[in-house]
Structure 1
Amino acid sequence: MKIVIINSGSSSIKYQLMTMPEQKVLCSGMIDRIGLESSNFTYKTDHHTIEEVVAIANHKIGLEKIAQLLLDDKVGVITSKSEIVAVGHRVVHGGATFSKTVEVTEEVKKEIGVLSQLAPLHNPAHLEGIVVAEEIFPEAKQVVVFDSAFHQTIPEVAYKFAIPNEMLDEHKIRLYGFHGTSVKYVSERAIKYLDKSEKIICIHLGNGCSITAVKDGKSFDHSMGFSPSNGLIMGTRAGDIDQSVIFYLVKTLGYAMDEVSSLLLKKSGMLGLTGYSDLRDIEELAGKGNRECQLALDMNVYRIQKYIGAYTAAMNGLDAIVFTAGIGENSSYIRKSVCANMDFFGLDLDDAKNDLRSKDTREINTASSRTKILVIPTNEELEIANQVYELL
Structure 2
Amino acid sequence: MTRVLVLNSGSSSVKYRLFDGADTVAKGLIERIGESGGDAENHDAALQRIMEETDLDGLAAVGHRVVHGGPDFTEATVIDDEVVSRIEALVPLAPLHQPAALSGIEVARKRLPSVPQVAVFDTAFHATIPPAGYTWAIDAGLAERWQIRRYGFHGTSHAYVARRTAALLGRPASDTNVITLHLGNGASACAVEGGRSVATSMGLSPLDGLVMGTRSGAIDPTVIFHLHRVAGLPIDEIETSLTRHAGLVGLTGENDLRAVLSRRAGGDPAATLAFDVYTRRIREYVGAYLAVLGRVDAITFTAGVGENAPDVRAESLSGLEPLGIAVDPARNASGAEVISPGGSPIAVCVVPTDEELEIADQSRSALLR
The interval holding the TM-score normalised by the smaller chain is: 0.7 to 0.9
For the pair 1:118 / 2:93, whether they are aligned, the reply is yes
C-alpha contact 1:5 1:87 (8 A) present in aligned 2: yes
Question: What TM-score does the superposition give when structure 2 sets the normalisation length?
Answer: 0.88
C-alpha distance 379-120 of structure 1, shift in aligned 2 (>3 A): same
Instruction: Give, in whole Å, the separation in 2 of the partners of 1:337 and 1:240.
Output: 20
Aligned to 2:275: 297
Aligned to 1:189: 164
Aligned to 1:245: 223
List aligned pairs for 1:1-392, cutoff 5 A.
1=1, 2-8=3-9, 14-19=15-20, 22-29=21-28, 68=49, 71-72=52-53, 77-78=54-55, 83-194=58-169, 195=171, 197-357=175-335, 362-392=337-367
C-alpha contact 1:364 1:374 (8 A) present in aligned 2: yes
C-alpha distance 302-139 of structure 1, shift in aligned 2 (>3 A): same
C-alpha contact 1:60 1:132 (8 A) present in aligned 2: no
Determine helix, strand or coil for the equivalent of 1:303: helix
* One-letter amino acid matched to 1:7: N
Instruction: Give, in whole Å, the separation in 1 of the partners of 2:9 and 2:247.
Output: 20
C-alpha distance 159-376 of structure 1, shift in aligned 2 (>3 A): same
Aligned-pair CA distance for 1:331 = 1.6
C-alpha distance 118-171 of structure 1, shift in aligned 2 (>3 A): closer
C-alpha distance 85-319 of structure 1, shift in aligned 2 (>3 A): closer
Deviation per CA, 1:24-74, whole angstroms, max 9, x where unpaired? 32123557xx77xxxxxxxxxxxxxxxxxxx8699967x9668636634xx
Determine helix, strand or coil for the equivalent of 1:71: helix
Aligned-pair CA distance for 1:240 = 0.4
Aligned-pair CA distance for 1:289 = 2.9
Aligned-pair CA distance for 1:268 = 0.9
C-alpha contact 1:160 1:175 (8 A) present in aligned 2: yes
Aligned-pair CA distance for 1:374 = 0.7
* One-letter amino acid matched to 1:25: T
Aligned-pair CA distance for 1:334 = 1.2
C-alpha distance 58-70 of structure 1, shift in aligned 2 (>3 A): closer
Aligned-pair CA distance for 1:108 = 2.8
Deviation per CA, 1:261-298, whole angstroms, max 9, x where unpaired? 11111111111111121222222232233322221111
C-alpha distance 390-207 of structure 1, shift in aligned 2 (>3 A): same
Instruction: Give, in whole Å, the separation in 1 of the partners of 2:9 and 2:312.
Output: 24
Instruction: Give, in whole Å, the separation in 2 of the partners of 1:135 and 1:127.
Output: 12
Unmatched 5+ stretches in structure 1: 36-54
Aligned-pair CA distance for 1:340 = 1.9
* Superposed CA RMSD: 2.8
Deviation per CA, 1:291-316, whole angstroms, max 9, x where unpaired? 22221111110000001111111222
* One-letter amino acid matched to 1:142: Q
Determine helix, strand or coil for the equivalent of 1:363: coil
Question: What TM-score does the superposition give when structure 1 sets the normalisation length?
Answer: 0.83
* One-letter amino acid matched to 1:317: R
* One-letter amino acid matched to 2:359: I
Aligned-pair CA distance for 1:214 = 1.1
C-alpha distance 69-390 of structure 1, shift in aligned 2 (>3 A): closer
C-alpha distance 214-29 of structure 1, shift in aligned 2 (>3 A): same
Determine helix, strand or coil for the equivalent of 2:211: coil
Aligned-pair CA distance for 1:355 = 2.1
Aligned-pair CA distance for 1:136 = 4.6
C-alpha distance 15-356 of structure 1, shift in aligned 2 (>3 A): farther
Unmatched 5+ stretches in structure 2: none
State how many pairs are aligned.
361
Aligned-pair CA distance for 1:191 = 2.0
C-alpha contact 2:40 2:46 (8 A) present in aligned 1: no
